Amino acid sequence: MKIYADENMPYVQHFFAEFGEVQLFPGRELTAEQLIDADVLLVRSITQVNSSLLAQAKQLRFVGTATIGTDHIDQSYLAARNIAFSNAPGCNARAVVEYIISCLWCLAERYQWQLSEKTIGIVGVGNIGRRLAEVLSALGVKLLLCDPLRAEHEPDFPHCPLQQLFEQADVLSFHVPQTVEGPFATHHLINPHSLTQLKPDCALINACRGPVFDNQALLAEAQAGHQRPLVLDVWEHEPDILLPLLPFVDIATAHIAGHSIEGKARGTEMLYQQLCQLLARPAQHRIESFCPAAAVSAVEIQSNFGLPDVQNLFKLVYDVRRDDALLRHHIKTQGFDWLRKNYPPRRECSTVRVIGDQVPDWLYDIGFSRP
């Protein structure tokens, strides 16, 4: 069996070598000619999987994407050819949530906010948005949730219409797929018109898909003298991002919100499990067998530990300012994809056990592990 896999999928050799030869490729450079003998194709979000790419892959049996999103996959084409498909829903949700939390604390420090006094709107309450809401609720933050699809199917879902969200939120964090058609299209949700509907100082965070924000509209607003707090992990036209916008972005990163060691490894593991199921073979491996031990694996806190202290504890695990500095320093000389390929190791809060005589439950609710 011949397995083609994105070179940025961690532990892919460890998981899939039992099935046959694993051939790695750069995600943006894969060609149809390379896949002539492919039985399995494993990608990430930067590879467009469609009829053009797979036209010569006559023996292909399985396509997997180690991501939550599927907008880069032509699933109808795969179904027509009877090619099995799987994505990895929720694999890096925890990593994205921790990215957003770190960003919020950085913005609060820069602009001297009290997060408890802010109203945060979450647009898209799926795998990531739901977990983000749980963590922010544990931290005592006021939330507004916007998800019209969930509202259609869940009568009790506390849906806040987008227009109302625009008018009331102090911070908006977007966690939607990229769709261009239909009543719930997400392409350019933030655009010249919607920007005028927001509070003047409403902070915007995009860690889902670049085209959800009209980057030219953000630049025009900033150059006109209206600079709002802005966090961009994803950009239009990646990897050729709008560099003139960069000076106006508070936190700028290279599409790495979900790139914790655990988040990426979970994606690989989930595809491995799906292929095992397809081939009716027992799964032999788990990420615990491959992930290295965390440098900080346990922290002891005292009885006077309180909510104001959690930010310092969180920074032991992850501080997004590192990744912002990496992009600003290397983007012009090394480029966007180099930053993604050479992303330094990052762990999740779950790798740290919090111990003490009186550990508040909300510390575990936001992701730290119990003893």
14 is catalytic: no
Can 209 be counted among the known catalytic residues? yes
- Give percent of the chain with pLDDT exceeding 90: 93
Whether residue 100 sits in one domain with residue 64: no
Whole-number Å distance between alpha carbons of 275 and 269: 10
Instruction: Give the pair of three-digit tokens for residue 359.
Output: 């550990």
Sequence-distant (≥ 6) Cβ neighbours of residue 78 within 8 angstroms: 49, 63, 84, 85
Both 161 and 193 in a single domain? yes
pLDDT for 185: 94
In-domain check, residue 341: yes
For residues 94 and 40, give the distance between their C-alpha atoms in angstroms, rounded to a whole number: 27
pLDDT of residue 61: 97
Residue range 329-366, pLDDT digits in tens:
999 999 999 999 999 999 999 999 999 998 999 999 99
Q: Are residues 134 and 114 in the same domain?
A: yes
Q: What is the mean pLDDT of residues 27-31?
A: 94
Residues 214 and 322 in one domain: no
pLDDT digits (tens, 9 = 90+) for 205-250: 999 999 999 999 999 999 999 999 999 999 999 999 999 999 999 9
Q: For residue 359, what is the domain's CATH number?
A: 3.30.1370.170
**Amino acid 69: pLDDT:** 83
Q: Does residue 266 belong to any structural domain of this protein?
A: no
Phi–psi pair at 365, nearest 5 degrees: -65, -30
247, 100: one domain: yes
- E-strand stretches of the chain: 2-6, 21-25, 40-43, 62-65, 84-86, 119-123, 142-146, 171-174, 203-206, 230-232, 251-252, 298-300, 353-355
**Interatomic CA distance for residues 213 and 232, integer angstroms:** 9
Better pLDDT: 53 or 306: 53
d(CA 295, CA 169): 38
197 falls within a domain: yes
Distance of alpha carbon 149 from alpha carbon 141, whole angstroms: 24
Q: Does residue 244 lie within any of the structural domains? A: yes
Amino acid (1-letter code) at residue 114: Q
Residue 257 belongs to some domain of the structure: no
Confirm whether 266 is a catalytic residue.
no
Pairing of strands 230-232, 203-206: parallel
Residue 288 domain-assigned?
no
Average pLDDT of the residues of the chain? 95
pLDDT at 267: 94
Compute the average pLDDT of residues 189-217: 97
Q: Taking residues 255-261, report their average pLDDT.
A: 95
C-alpha angle 246-26-288 in degrees, rounded to nearest 5? 95
Question: Choosing from 255, 266, 340, 347, which is the catalytic residue?
Answer: 255
The pLDDT score that the predictor gives to residue 144 is: 98
Pairwise CA distance, residues 157 & 125, whole Å: 10
Report how many domains make up the chain.
3
- 150 and 124 inside one domain: yes
Q: Judge if 228 and 124 occupy the same domain.
A: yes
% of the chain with per-residue pLDDT over 70? 100
Residue pair 199/173 in contact (Cβ under 8 Å)? The answer is no
> Is residue 129 included in any domain, yes or no?
yes
Q: How many CA atoms lie within 13 A of 160 on its CB side?
A: 19
Evaluate whether 9 touches 66 at the Cβ level (below 8 Å): yes
Here the CATH number for the domain that contains residue 167 is 3.40.50.720
- Asked if residue 200 and residue 58 are part of one domain, the reply reads no
Q: State whether 64 and 30 are in the same domain.
A: yes
Residue 5 has pLDDT above 90, yes or no: yes
Q: Is residue 36 part of a domain?
A: yes
Q: Are 71 and 97 in a shared domain?
A: no
**Alpha helices for 11-154 (secondary structure H):** 12-16, 51-54, 75-80, 93-111, 127-138, 148-153
**Domain that includes residue 29, residue range:** 2-87
Residues 101, 234 share a domain: yes
Listed residue (99, 97, 104) closest to 124, CA to CA: 97
End position of a domain, from candidates 87, 120, 143: 87
The answer to whether the CB of 95 falls within 8 A of the CB of 146 is: no
pLDDT (tens digit per residue) in 261-314: 999 999 999 999 999 999 999 999 999 888 898 999 999 999 999 888 999 999
Q: Is 137 in the same domain as 107?
A: yes
Of 130, 209, 346, 347, which residue is the catalytic one?
209
Domain boundary, last residue among 87, 115, 135: 87
The pTM of the full predicted model, rounded to 2 decimals, is 0.89
pLDDT score at 182: 85
- Least trusted range by pLDDT, from 84-88, 128-132, 191-195, 306-310: 306-310
Catalytic-role residue among 238, 262, 269, 348 = 238
Q: Domain end: 220, 252, 284, which one?
A: 252
- Residue 181 is predicted with a pLDDT of 87
